[in-house]
Amino acid sequence: MATIACAEIRGIIFDLDGTLYVCDRYAAEIQAAAIGYIASLIQISSAEAALIIAATRLRLTAESGTVPTISAVCIELGGNAPDLHRVFTQKLRPEAYLVRDERVVRLLERLAEKFRLAIYTNNNRPLTTRIMKCLGLDGLVANVFTIDDTWRGKPDEEMVCRVLAALKLAPEEALFVGDRYDVDLRQPEQLGCPVYLSQHLEQLLRLERLLTCSEK
């Protein structure tokens, strides 16, 4: 991954969940909330909802060749993103799981000195705000794009274009960082943006070195 073409990079657009923090227990709570939403929507048990969600995810993956987001699975089962996110906002407790990591805080502080930073997430704004507070990152990122701005979830080419326009960045100037290639990175890469896959903290922390190494 030492191949970021970063001579021209002026901005970095981070995914949030699974990228700026990694927490399996919190990811499981998100999954449980989605199961609860589908169970109540279809009037079935949580166990049945879990099975249907798993089967639907497999089917959509086979049909499209990419793993769908949890929102896409819920929509396929008759739900909708605003209702799902209302449940997420009510049920999820990032405060119980997520803690500040000084290494990430300092990373973003240093990157903010050189680059325009943004967050572009399929999470909603209330939860994004709470999560950023838990992580000690509130106030560090001026531009935050959340799903409830437009209800156009990633992956979505038009939203990538809107993010670039809002940040006044050309594609080659905007590095996208995310933990899911299909969801976070494929569309930006197709538009000509550099991308960086980060699925654990060590990869995230390595980003700064990769950018520094290639400075002119």
CB closer to Mg ion, 15 vs 29: 15
CB closer to Mg ion, 170 vs 201: 201
Shortest reach from residue 123's CB to Mg ion, in Å: 9
Residue 17 — φ and ψ, nearest 5°?
-70, 125
What is the rounded distance in angstroms from the CA atom of residue 171 to the CA atom of residue 187?
A: 11
Which residues form the interface with Mg ion (CB under 5 A)?
A: 15, 17-18, 179
Choose among 84, 22, 91: nearest CA to 49: 84
Shortest reach from residue 41's CB to Mg ion, in Å: 24
Choose among 210, 206, 205: nearest CA to 194: 210
Shortest reach from residue 179's CB to Mg ion, in Å: 4
CB closer to Mg ion, 39 vs 128: 128
CB-facing half-sphere around the CA of 9: CA atoms within 13 A: 28
CB closer to Mg ion, 17 vs 173: 17
Shortest reach from residue 17's CB to Mg ion, in Å: 4
